[in-house]
Structure 1
Amino acid sequence: MFRTLGGGALPAIDAKTAHTHSVANLCTDGVRLYSAALGVGRIARTEVEPAPCLLEFGLLLPDPDDDSWLRPVPPSAALAQRLHPLEREIQDRRRTSVELTDAFEPFMAISAQRPAATHAITVLEGIDRINGALDLAISESRTEVLTVQPGGKRSEEVLSEALARSKPLIDSGISVRTLYQHTVRHSQRTYAYVDLMAGARMEIRTLEELIERLIICDDTVAFIPARDDPPIALELRHPGLVAYLTKVFEQLWSRAVPLNEAAPYDPARDGITGVQRSIAQLLVEGHVDEAIARRLGMNVRTCRAHVAKLSAVLGSTSRAQLGYLIARSGILDQDS
């Protein structure tokens, strides 16, 4: 905002007519009236009412001889007033960049004498830092990205994020293989996501139970979760660690079922389904309902419904008795 020069007070600007544009984007009335004022050397105050921005930006100033008139500020002067702080800021930033370069130059010289080291494990704390490192690694991928995504149905937000990350990769010819759990087969959003990726080098398979989330890029870098609250992930670049996790992925992949094929749910035996036998195994191992639901990619309510079914079939009246009856029944010894 320019300060007003010369005598006379500027009229108050009605809030209803105040403009919100910048001086670089003058309104039509502002362009017309400023041009007219420059052409004749002055303009009546009453004529400027449609363009209060000319007064706000200091492009018109009171006529010192007659307060009913306004005189235009020469465009060269108005431009110089606005360019000066920008040029000063540019000079300050250039000076800062030179100072930073000078400050780090001795360290760069030391670093240049040794081969660049790659951190085998980097701790990433916070969603922004995790997503930033992940986006960078994915953008640098050249051949294939492998992902393990445990859990049940995906929200629209999660699938939109997956689409935003996968589409550029696939457009550049990089293949993507993703492992979900069988429970995503009940999600229409998942199939809509697959339709959007039709024709791409993308494969999706599902398993009943998965390990924690895992992302591997080009056998070079892998990401695994370390803590949920606060969110912490590990960026792994040690070749041995990445190779090991890739083998784990390939083992899971070989057992998984393509999304476009029917999942091999075991038929119910003695009134107990394959999913319920999986729950029974986890119950015997001492897992609570929340952990079981997370492992099998279902919500806790569904998990508890299966536990109730197991209790009814085996005649259990308590959680402790249920574990005993599961072990005694032999249902976990049956062939899958």
Structure 2
Amino acid sequence: MAGHGTQEHPHGADRLCEAGDRVYSRAVRRGRVPRRDAEPVPCLLELALLHPDPDDMDWLVPTSPQEVMTRLLRGVYDEVSASQRRMGSAVAAFEWYAGLGALSTAVGAEGAAIRVLDGSARIQAALDEATQACVTEVLTVQPGGIRPEHELTEGLHRALELRGRGVRMRDLYTHVARHGQGLLNYLELMGDSVEARTLDEVIDRLIVFDRTVAFVPANADRTMALELRHPALVHYLLTVFERFWRLAIPLTAPLPDTGIEGISHREQSIAALLAEGHQDAVIAERLGISVRTCRAHIARLSETLGAASRTQLGVRIAQAGLDRPPRAADVTQRPSLSLPDQGSRTAR
């Protein structure tokens, strides 16, 4: 019956059908109506405007108009509240997308100022496109240690293409890269079209073409990259590169002596990072070496400086003047000094 009534009386309690209005009005005036009078208008039972009289199930009593009004207003209030929430969400979404639109408009004024490249294929395609458009210069920063052969091979076709057009290249590596035969072979093949220098540590990977477009990693595993064409961003990266370049040592030149017998340039770099409070893994990552190699150098430092513990090693590093990164200028200016408890060894 409920289904039948719903089909014949598709309305709510706020707007009764003519038959329902007559029966409900009569029930309100008289206090109750026979059940048979309500059979033609099942909507009254479905809307709970009438309900059985507990004293006599053959009769129906009305729900008070005040209760009906309260129920109707509560429903309207709920509908209005839901509409307000939907409206608030819509406005918030509009403001968010409008903000993105304004940003994209601002970016559009400079062209595709920042483009996210997702996946190795898109990154490779963008690099190939920039290589083909390059006419004067490529600058790169290559972090990490010894360059794997496959990395050098992957970039070789671009490098040869650039060399063929007379493009000059400058590459920054860590000192550890000097020990990689693959890099030495690559530089020999490229000849004077590539100039390479090294530092104790460098920034993350960077490639700049013609001082107009730069590529940097966008995540840790380098499966995403950013293509930057905004002049201010590219200029900033160029400034960083040039300052690193000025401090770097040409690959063809030897690393400066530390001036302390038994302590290598790398061990001096490790000592400076230890003095800054870095853990072994962080030091290894920054210098492009393995943690095992880093710890071997630390052990040799301890032995050379006569330190029996890490705490004592920190003190001895400071006493020996090793608590700052090595610089070529320091070697010639450092005064003679004796290592703690190592009277036979002097700083030169």
C-alpha distance in structure 2 between counterparts of 1:187 and 1:139, whole Å: 29
C-alpha distance in structure 2 between counterparts of 1:322 and 1:225, whole Å: 36
C-alpha distance in structure 1 between counterparts of 2:250 and 2:185, whole Å: 16
C-alpha distance in structure 1 between counterparts of 2:259 and 2:266, whole Å: 9
Q: Determine if the alignment matches structure 1 residue 206 to structure 2 residue 193.
A: no
Q: Say if 1:119 and 1:319 are closer, same or farther in 2 by CA, change over 3 A.
A: farther
Superimposed CA distance per residue, residues 194-217 of structure 1 (whole angstroms, 9 cap, x where no aligned partner): 22223x522222223222111101
C-alpha distance in structure 2 between counterparts of 1:323 and 1:121, whole Å: 44
2:223 to 231, 235, 249: 231
Name the % identity: 52
Equivalent runs, 1:81-120 vs 2, <5 Å: 117-120=110-113
Deviation at 1:270, TM superposition (A): 5.1
Equivalent runs, 1:119-158 vs 2, <5 Å: 119-158=112-151
2:214 to 214, 218, 222: 222
C-alpha distance in structure 2 between counterparts of 1:237 and 1:332, whole Å: 39
Q: Normalised by the size of structure 1, how large is the TM-score? A: 0.59
Q: Is the 8 A contact 1:293 1:303 kept in 2?
A: yes
Q: Say if 1:257 and 1:314 are closer, same or farther in 2 by CA, change over 3 A.
A: closer
Q: Say if 1:231 and 1:325 are closer, same or farther in 2 by CA, change over 3 A.
A: farther
Q: Is the 8 A contact 1:179 1:207 kept in 2?
A: yes
Q: Is the 8 A contact 1:121 1:238 kept in 2?
A: yes
Question: Which residue does the alignment assign to 1:16?
Answer: none
C-alpha distance in structure 1 between counterparts of 2:279 and 2:173, whole Å: 22
Q: Determine if the alignment matches structure 1 residue 161 to structure 2 residue 154.
A: yes
Deviation at 1:286, TM superposition (A): 2.8
For 2:138, give the aligned amino acid: V
Superimposed CA distance per residue, residues 257-278 of structure 1 (whole angstroms, 9 cap, x where no aligned partner): 332x222332351533332121
1:332 to 311, 323, 326: 323
Deviation at 1:325, TM superposition (A): 4.2
For 2:313, give the aligned amino acid: L
Q: Normalised by the size of structure 2, how large is the TM-score? A: 0.57
2:265 to 274, 277, 291: 274
Q: Is the 8 A contact 2:110 2:230 kept in 1?
A: no
C-alpha distance in structure 1 between counterparts of 2:265 and 2:157, whole Å: 35
Deviation at 1:293, TM superposition (A): 1.9
Question: Which residue does the alignment assign to 1:292?
Answer: 283
Deviates further, 307-316 or 234-243: 307-316
Q: Determine if the alignment matches structure 1 residue 307 to structure 2 residue 298.
A: yes
Question: Which residue does the alignment assign to 2:9?
Answer: none
Let me know the Cα RMSD of the aligned residues.
2.6
Q: Say if 1:178 and 1:330 are closer, same or farther in 2 by CA, change over 3 A.
A: closer
For 1:167, give the aligned amino acid: L
Q: Say if 1:288 and 1:135 are closer, same or farther in 2 by CA, change over 3 A.
A: farther
SS at match of 1:311: helix
C-alpha distance in structure 1 between counterparts of 2:260 and 2:146, whole Å: 27
SS at match of 1:147: strand
C-alpha distance in structure 1 between counterparts of 2:259 and 2:316, whole Å: 18
Q: Is the 8 A contact 2:302 2:313 kept in 1?
A: yes
SS at match of 1:227: coil
Superimposed CA distance per residue, residues 261-301 of structure 1 (whole angstroms, 9 cap, x where no aligned partner): 22233235153333212111112223222322222222322
Q: Say if 1:116 and 1:242 are closer, same or farther in 2 by CA, change over 3 A.
A: closer
Deviation at 1:230, TM superposition (A): 6.4
| Structure number with larger C-alpha Rg | 2
SS at match of 2:263: coil
SS at match of 1:332: coil
Q: Determine if the alignment matches structure 1 residue 251 to structure 2 residue 229.
A: no
